[in-house]
Structure 1
Amino acid sequence: MTVKLNARAFDHARKLAEEGRIVLDDRDEWSEHRPSAADENAYLEENGFNKYARWYLGIDDGMGEDTKGRYKFPYGVFERVHRCGVLSAEVRAGQQKYADIENAAAHLHGLLDGRRAGNR
């Protein structure tokens, strides 16, 4: 099992952040904001795995392409990047020593915090 950065998801998140499609929440809110299994399943049914994959910064290449288990480190809720999701991904990737994912999440964290500072 190798978990690596999903560059397509990172590019998608960066684009959404630049467009202002973000939620500038706090880290501890992710448990309430993260998509439920039912939300994930509904999104998958409507959009397929190709679009689903864009919402996860990590890919586990040991898992089948059309399985939810392949996609790790969610950062948003299918419309917007959530700061709390990015922070959670950054911390968990660091704990699990996935430096490429941690660095990507840290970059997104910086983008979001720059937006947050601009809103004050």
Structure 2
Amino acid sequence: MTVTLNETGYRHARRLVADGRYVLDDRDHWSDDQPSTSQENDFIEANGIDEFGKWFLGVDDDLPPDRKGHYKFPYGDFEQVHRCGVISAESRAGQYDHAEIEQAAAHLHGMLDSPK
């Protein structure tokens, strides 16, 4: 599995944060806040797989881009960036030695935690 930074998703996340479209939730809320499989499928049906991919910091180049499994490290709920999702992505990327994704998530984490 070759997982790399999803530049499109990273740009999208930075733009959302800059526009104030984020939730400053607690670290452990991601299991409750992340979209369900049904919500993912509904989003893809309504918006397409390319829009779906913007909500992930990583891509698995071993899987085709028209598959949900191609996208890794989600950070939001298709409306807003969630701090808990960013922290989860940062932690998991670090565990699996995806340094570029870990750094991108750490940057987003810093953007969310910095005083406005």
Q: TM-score w.r.t. structure 2 length?
A: 0.98
1:91-110 pair list within 5 angstroms: 91-110=91-110
Indicate the residue corresponding to 1:75 in structure 2: 75
Identical residues among aligned pairs (%): 58
Task: Say yes or no: does 1:51 pair with 2:51.
Answer: yes
Q: How is 1:20-31 mapped onto 2 (pairs within 5 angstroms)?
A: 20-31=20-31
Runs of 4+ in structure 1 over 3 Å off: none
Q: Give the 3-state SS of the residue equivalent to 1:43 in structure 2.
A: helix
Alpha-carbon displacement from aligned partner over 1:62-113 (angstroms, at most 9, x marks no partner): 0011111000000000010000000000000000000000000000000000
Given the alignment of the two structures, is residue 66 of structure 1 paired with residue 63 of structure 2, yes or no? no
Count of residues in Structure 1 that have an aligned counterpart in Structure 2: 116
Q: The residue matched to 1:76 in structure 2 has which SS?
A: coil
Structure 1-normalised TM-score? 0.95
Residue ranges of structure 1 left out of the alignment (5+ in a row): none
User: Relative to total residues, which structure has the larger helix share, 1 or 2?
Assistant: 1
Corresponding letter in the other structure for 2:107: H
